[in-house]
C-alpha cells in the first residue's frame, strides 16, 4: 500500500513540475509580445519571429501539444520565413523542422487535434515525403489502432498520394480482422465504400455483391462479440445503404393525381362533408400546389417543374422550400396558383398538369439527381361567391375541441370510405426494375432471420434495436411495390413491442426510443385504411359557422412524442394532436391546408417549438393550452443549433411595431416572432407559464384578426 502512495506522490510531483515549466515557458514567450495584448502569445502586427521565440514555442508544444495558440503562431512564423525563401532546399528544411516538432508533440499526446491539424497544414505547403507519413502512421496505429485522428490523417495523406480506395480498403480489412472492436477502422471503411459506391452509376462497382460481402464481414464481428458496439454501428450504415433509394423520388403531392378540387374564396363551400379532403377555402384568392419528396432536395423551380393551367404561367410560379431552417432545400416544396379573374365560374372545372422531367436541376443533399420522370393531373372547380357569407362576415363561431362536438357512426364511416382514399392516393408510384428490387428485400429478410436467432440466445439491447430497424426497413421496401392500402405495415406490432422493451431496458435513451415508437405508430395508423377511418371524426358545427372543414383527424391520446407520415396527411385541414407528449411539431410546415390545429396538453416548452406554424398560411384556429410555454423566457437550445429565430427572422421586424404600454418586449420577443404574420381567428393559450394579462394584450395587438382568446371575445 505504501508503494502505491509513494508512486502516486511522485507522479503528482512530476505533473506539478511540468505545469510550472509550462507556465515559465509561456510567461517567457509572452514577454516578446506587447503588454497591451495580454492573452496573445505573439502579435501579427509586430511580426516577432525570432529564433529564440521559436525555440521557446517548440519547447512549449513538446510539453503541451494542446496549446493551439502556439500552433497558430508557428503557422504565422512559417509563412513569414517562406515568403523570403526561394531556395527549394531551405524551404524543405523549414517544413521538415515543423514536421519534426509535430512528431515530437504527437509522441507526447498522439490524440492532439492541434498537432494533427498542424501536420496537415505543413504537408500541404510543399513536396514532402508521403511515404514517411505512412510509416509514421503505422507506428501510431500500432500503438493505438483506434486513434480517430490518425485515421483521419491517413485519409488525408492517401488522397494526396492518390492511393486507390481499393488499396486502403484492404488495409482497413486487415485492421478489422486483427481487432473487431476497432470502431475507427469500421468508420474509415464506410467512408471508403461510400466513395466506391458512388461509382456504381458507371457500372464499375458491383454494389450488391460488395454489400453482401460486407454483411458477411460484420456478421463475424457481431456474432463473435455481441456486446461490442463497433460492428453494430457499421451494420446500421450497411442497412442504410441497402434500403435508401439511389435518387430522390416524388412520393406525394397535393392535389393528388386525378382529384377534383373544389376551391372557394371569399365564400363558403357547399357540400364539404361529402368530400372533405378535396375542398379548400382561401381568403387570398390562391391555393397551394405541394410536392413531397422522399429526401431533402434543392432546385425545385419553374425550370425543373412544369405546371400547365389557366391559373398562372409556369415561368411566373415561385417555388419555395417548406423548411424552418430557411435554407434552399427541403423535402416539401410549395407554390401558389392564383384563381383566375372570372366572375361566374359555375363550378367549371379547370385542368392542371404537373410534370417533373428527368433533369439535373433537382438534387438531393447527398448529391443524387432526380432521374424518375413523373406527371400527374387534377382539376380545380371554383365555387361561386356566397353573398350571404360576405354580409355575415367571417368568424361567427368558435371551434370547441371537447368530445361532445365530435361524433362518428357506421354510416359516416361508409361515407368517408371513398374519400379516405385521398390519403393513400397521395403516394406517387414510380416504375422500378423488379429484379433490382429483389436483392434488398431478400437481404433484409435474411438479416431478420439471423438476428431473431441471435436474440433467442442472448438479451442484447442494441440487437433488439437493430432488429426493429430491420423490420421497419422490410416494411418500407415492400411498400415501394404495393400501395399502402394493399400492403399494411405487417411488422408494426413487433417493432412497437421491441421499442417499448428498450424504453424499459435502457432508460437513459428512452426519449430516442419513444420518438421511434411514435413514428412507427404514425406509419401504422396512416397505412391502414380501416384504422385511419377510426381516427376520422365528424365535427358538429352549425350552419352559420365559417369553419370549412367538417372532418377532423384525431390523433389525440396516443402518447406521440414526434409527428411522422406527413406525406400521407397533406390534405388534412383539421387536426387534433392533443394529450400527447410532443416536444416538437417539426414536419407540420408541409401541411399547407391545415386551418384548425389542437396541440393542447403536450410538452411544448418554448415558442421556438412552434416555428413550423409560421409557414402555415391557412391556419385560423390554434390551441396550445396546457403546455410549458414561457417557462423559460428564452429558448437556449437555439445557441446549440442553427435557428432562424436568432438570425434571419429577427432582422425583418421592429420592436416599436409591436410595442404595448407596460409590456417588456424582451420577455416575449420569441412569441412575437412566431405569432406575428399569422391570421388566427381563435387562440387558446391558458395553462402555460405565460398567461398574464399583459401577454394577452400583446397577443391581441400582434394578431389583428383574432376574435377569441382563451374562449373570450377579444372585442
The CATH topology of domain 250-381 is Immunoglobulin-like (2.60.40)
Residues 6 or more apart whose Cβ sits within 8 Å of residue 609:
583, 584, 585, 635
Q: How far is CA 335 from CA 75, 371, 557, in A?
A: 51, 22, 34
Quick count: other Cβ atoms within 10 Å of Cβ 359?
A: 15
| 8 Å CB contact between 599 and 560 | no
> What pLDDT was estimated at residue 298?
92
Distance CA 364, CA 198 (A): 14
Among the listed residues 537, 594, 602, the one whose alpha carbon sits nearest the alpha carbon of residue 569: 594
Among the listed residues 525, 526, 554, the one whose alpha carbon sits nearest the alpha carbon of residue 539: 554
Distance CA 551, CA 536 (A): 6
Domain map (residue ranges) of the chain: 250-381, 434-482+489-527, 538-713
Q: Give the residues across from 77 on adjacent strands.
A: none
How would you class 69 by CB atoms within 10 Å of its CB: exposed for 0-12, middle for 13-18, buried for 19 or more? middle
Peptide bond preceding 255: is omega within 30 degrees of 0, i.e. cis? Answer: yes
Let me know if the fold of 250-381 is the same as that of 538-713.
Answer: no
Q: What 3-state class would DSSP assign to 366? A: coil
pLDDT digits (tens, 9 = 90+) for 210-239: 899 999 999 999 988 888 889 999 999 999
Q: What would the grid cell of residue 517 be?
A: 415508437
Quick count: other Cβ atoms within 10 Å of Cβ 248?
A: 23
Quick count: other Cβ atoms within 10 Å of Cβ 319?
A: 17
Dihedrals φ, ψ of 294, to 5°? Answer: -80, -10
Among the listed residues 709, 712, 708, the one whose alpha carbon sits nearest the alpha carbon of residue 394: 708
> What pLDDT was estimated at residue 661?
59
Confidence of residue 57 (pLDDT cuts 50, 70, 90): confident
> What pLDDT was estimated at residue 139?
85
| 8 Å CB contact between 102 and 119 | yes
Q: Which long-range contacts (CB under 8 A, 24 or more apart) does 88-91 make?
A: 91/126
Pairing of strands 286-298, 250-254: antiparallel
pLDDT digits (tens, 9 = 90+) for 394-442: 445 789 999 988 888 766 666 555 555 555 555 565 544 444 468 888 9
Q: What 3-state class would DSSP assign to 120? A: helix
Distance CA 513, CA 209 (A): 33
pLDDT digits (tens, 9 = 90+) for 12-27: 434 444 445 445 555 5
Q: What would the grid cell of residue 117 be?
A: 491539424
Report the chain's terminal Cα–Cα distance, integer Å.
82
Distance CA 76, CA 675 (A): 50
Counting every residue written for the chain, the total comes to 715
> Higher model confidence: residue 591 or residue 549?
591
Among the listed residues 674, 583, 586, 690, the one whose alpha carbon sits nearest the alpha carbon of residue 629: 690
* CA atoms within a 13 Å half-sphere pointing along the CA-CB vector of 386: 19
> What pLDDT was estimated at residue 44?
40
Distance CA 268, CA 543 (A): 10
Q: Give the residues across from 682 on adjacent strands.
A: 621, 708
* CA atoms within a 13 Å half-sphere pointing along the CA-CB vector of 438: 3
Residues 6 or more apart whose Cβ sits within 8 Å of residue 675:
699, 702, 703
Given strand 349-356, what is the order of strands in its sheet? 279-282, 260-265, 374-382, 349-356, 305-308
> What pLDDT was estimated at residue 118?
93
**Which of 215-229, 261-275, 476-490 has the least mean pLDDT?**
261-275
pTM of the model: 0.81
> What pLDDT was estimated at residue 517?
96
pLDDT, mean of residues 68-83:
87
pLDDT digits (tens, 9 = 90+) for 140-170: 888 888 888 889 999 999 999 999 989 999 9
> What pLDDT was estimated at residue 22?
47
Distance CA 654, CA 229 (A): 52
pLDDT digits (tens, 9 = 90+) for 497-517: 999 999 999 999 999 999 999
* Answer CATH for 538-713 from 3.20.20.70, 3.80.10.10, 3.30.70.20, 3.30.930.10: 3.80.10.10
| 8 Å CB contact between 342 and 383 | no
Amino acid at each position: 500500500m505504501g508503494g502505491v502512495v509513494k508512486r502516486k506522490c511522485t507522479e503528482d510531483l512530476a505533473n506539478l513540475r511540468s505545469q510550472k515549466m509550462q507556465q515559465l515557458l509561456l510567461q517567457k514567450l509572452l514577454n516578446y509580445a506587447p503588454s497591451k495584448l495580454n492573452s496573445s502569445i505573439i502579435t501579427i502586427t509586430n511580426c516577432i519571429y525570432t529564433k529564440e521565440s521559436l525555440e521557446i514555442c517548440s519547447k512549449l508544444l513538446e510539453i503541451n501539444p494542446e496549446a493551439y495558440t502556439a500552433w497558430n503562431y508557428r503557422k504565422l512564423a512559417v509563412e513569414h520565413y517562406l515568403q523570403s525563401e526561394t531556395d527549394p532546399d531551405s524551404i524543405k528544411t523549414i517544413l521538415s523542422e515543423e514536421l519534426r516538432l509535430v512528431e515530437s508533440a504527437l509522441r507526447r499526446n498522439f490524440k492532439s487535434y492541434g498537432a494533427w491539424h498542424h501536420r496537415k497544414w505543413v504537408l500541404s505547403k510543399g513536396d514532402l515525403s508521403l511515404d514517411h507519413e505512412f510509416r509514421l502512421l503505422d507506428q501510431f496505429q500500432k500503438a493505438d489502432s483506434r486513434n480517430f485522428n490518425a485515421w483521419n490523417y491517413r485519409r488525408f495523406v492517401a488522397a494526396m498520394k492518390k492511393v486507390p480506395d481499393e488499396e486502403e480498403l484492404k488495409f482497413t480489412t486487415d485492421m478489422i480482422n486483427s481487432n473487431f472492436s476497432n470502431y475507427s477502422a469500421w468508420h474509415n471503411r464506410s467512408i471508403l465504400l461510400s466513395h466506391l459506391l458512388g461509382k456504381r452509376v458507371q457500372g464499375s462497382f458491383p454494389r450488391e455483391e460488395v454489400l453482401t460481402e460486407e454483411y458477411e464481414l460484420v456478421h463475424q464481428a457481431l456474432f463473435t462479440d455481441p456486446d461490442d458496439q463497433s460492428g453494430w454501428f457499421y451494420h446500421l450504415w450497411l442497412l442504410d445503404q441497402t434500403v435508401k433509394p439511389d435518387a430522390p423520388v416524388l412520393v406525394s403531392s397535393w392535389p393528388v393525381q386525378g382529384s377534383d378540387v373544389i376551391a372557394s374564396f371569399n365564400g363558403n363551400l357547399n357540400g364539404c362533408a361529402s368530400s372533405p379532403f378535396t375542398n379548400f377555402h382561401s381568403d387570398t384568392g390562391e391555393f397551394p400546389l405541394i410536392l413531397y419528396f422522399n429526401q431533402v432536395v434543392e432546385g425545385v423551380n419553374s425550370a425543373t417543374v412544369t405546371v400547365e393551367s389557366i391559373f398562372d404561367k409556369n415561368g411566373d410560379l415561385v417555388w419555395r422550400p417548406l423548411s424552418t431552417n430557411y435554407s434552399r432545400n427541403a423535402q416539401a416544396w410549395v407554390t401558389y396558383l392564383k384563381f383566375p379573374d372570372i366572375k361566374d365560374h359555375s363550378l367549371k372545372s379547370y385542368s392542371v398538369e404537373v410534370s417533373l422531367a428527368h433533369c439535373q436541376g433537382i438534387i438531393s443533399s447527398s448529391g443524387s439527381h432526380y432521374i424518375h420522370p413523373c406527371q400527374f393531373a387534377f382539376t380545380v372547380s371554383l365555387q361561386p361567391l356566397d353573398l350571404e357569407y360576405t354580409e355575415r362576415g367571417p368568424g361567427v363561431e368558435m371551434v370547441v375541441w371537447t368530445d361532445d362536438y365530435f361524433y362518428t357512426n357506421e354510416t359516416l364511416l361508409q361515407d368517408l370510405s371513398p374519400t379516405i382514399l385521398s390519403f393513400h392516393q397521395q403516394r406517387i408510384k414510380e416504375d422500378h426494375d423488379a429484379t433490382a428490387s429483389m436483392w434488398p428485400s431478400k437481404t433484409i429478410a435474411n438479416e431478420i432471420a439471423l438476428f431473431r436467432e441471435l436474440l433467442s440466445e442472448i438479451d442484447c439491447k442494441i440487437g433488439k434495436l437493430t432488429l426493429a430497424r430491420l423490420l421497419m426497413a422490410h416494411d418500407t421496401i415492400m411498400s415501394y411495390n404495393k400501395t399502402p392500402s394493399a400492403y399494411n405495415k405487417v411488422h408494426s406490432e413487433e417493432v412497437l413491442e421491441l421499442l417499448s422493451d428498450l424504453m424499459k431496458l435502457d432508460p437513459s435513451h428512452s426519449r430516442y426510443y419513444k420518438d421511434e415508437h411514435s413514428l412507427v405508430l404514425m406509419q401504422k395508423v396512416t397505412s391502414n385504411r380501416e384504422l385511419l377511418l377510426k381516427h376520422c371524426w365528424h365535427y358538429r358545427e352549425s350552419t352559420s359557422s365559417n369553419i370549412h372543414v367538417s372532418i377532423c383527424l384525431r390523433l389525440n391520446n396516443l402518447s406521440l412524442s414526434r409527428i411522422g407520415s406527413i406525406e400521407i396527411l397533406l390534405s388534412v385541414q383539421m387536426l387534433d394532436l392533443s394529450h400527447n407528449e410532443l416536444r416538437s411539431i417539426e414536419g407540420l410546415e408541409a401541411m399547407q391546408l391545415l386551418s384548425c390545429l389542437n396541440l393542447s396538453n403536450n410538452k411544448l416548452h418554448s415558442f421556438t417549438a412552434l416555428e413550423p406554424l409560421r409557414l402555415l398560411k391557412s391556419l385560423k384556429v390554434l390551441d396550445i393550452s396546457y403546455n410549458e410555454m414561457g417557462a423559460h423566457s428564452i429558448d437556449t437550445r437555439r445557441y446549440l443549433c442553427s435557428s432562424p429565430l436568432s438570425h434571419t427572422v429577427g432582422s425583418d421586424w421592429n420592436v416599436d411595431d409591436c410595442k404595448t404600454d407596460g409590456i417588456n418586449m424582451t420577455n416575449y420577443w420569441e412569441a412575437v416572432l412566431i405569432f406575428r404574420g399569422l391570421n388566427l381567428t381563435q387562440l387558446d393559450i391558458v395553462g402555460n407559464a405565460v398567461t398574464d394579462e399583459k401577454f394577452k394584450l400583446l397577443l391581441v395587438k400582434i394578431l389583428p384578426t383574432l376574435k377569441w382568446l382563451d374562449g373570450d371575445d377579444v372585442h
